[in-house]
């Protein structure tokens, strides 16, 4: 079994799309094993996205991600990292395949409703960034 991290970003939270997004993943029979709403600090988001620190979009991304609460979730299933990446669609919501989460709920390349881990290795790191072991339900 694999696990992946999904972040429902501030735009989707403020537009009340949390339930819609969770329902989409639920329809795939993925197991939701952890979930919480937080208001991340600048320091936390800068650390989380530190791989992009030198890129021009880093500061605007940080500002966006601290603009409101986010919902962090851990989902579990076979081959879930790749499956979730397909379900959320392309980073740029305008280019995302019709029916994907970013196409349905996003606005552009940054304000795109969700973040999802892009590899099993990153999923493990990202999950540990937001959750303690005891916060994750073992199935």
Instruction: Please report, for the chain, the start and end positions of each structural domain, with discontinuous segments joined by +.
Output: 2-135
Maximum distance among all Cα pairs of the chain, rounded to whole angstroms? 41
- For 63, list phi and psi in degrees, rounded to 5: -60, -45
Inter-residue contact 110 to 93 (CB < 8 Å): no
Phi (first) and psi of residue 121, to 5 degrees = -60, -50
Catalytic residue among 101, 115, 116, 131: 115
Q: What pLDDT, on a 0 to 100 scale, did the predictor assign at position 77?
A: 98
Instruction: For residue 52, indicate whether it is catalytic.
Output: no
Q: Which residues contact 44 (CB under 8 A, 6 or more apart)?
A: none
- Positions of the chain with pLDDT lower than 70, given as ranges: none
For residues 65 and 63, give the distance between their C-alpha atoms in angstroms, rounded to a whole number: 6
Looking at the domain that runs over 2-135, which CATH code has it been given?
3.30.70.141
Contact indicator for 130, 39 with CB cutoff of 8 Å = no
Whole-model pTM: value is 0.96
């Amino acid at each position: 079994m694999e696990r992946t991290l999904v972040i429902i970003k501030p735009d989707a939270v403020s537009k009340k799309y949390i339930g819609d997004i969770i329902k989409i993943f639920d329809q795939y029979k993925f197991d939701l094993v952890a979930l919480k709403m937080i208001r991340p600090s600048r320091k936390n988001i800068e650390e989380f996205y530190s791989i992009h620190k030198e890129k021009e979009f880093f500061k605007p991304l940080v500002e966006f991600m601290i603009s409101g609460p986010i919902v962090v979730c851990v989902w579990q299933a076979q081959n879930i990292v790749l499956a979730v990446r397909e379900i959320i669609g392309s980073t740029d919501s305008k280019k995302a395949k019709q029916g994907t989460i970013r196409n349905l709920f996003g606005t552009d390349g940054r304000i795109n409703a969700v973040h999802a881990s892009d590899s099993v290795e990153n999923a493990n790191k990202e999950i540990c960034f937001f959750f303690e072991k005891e916060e994750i339900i073992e199935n």
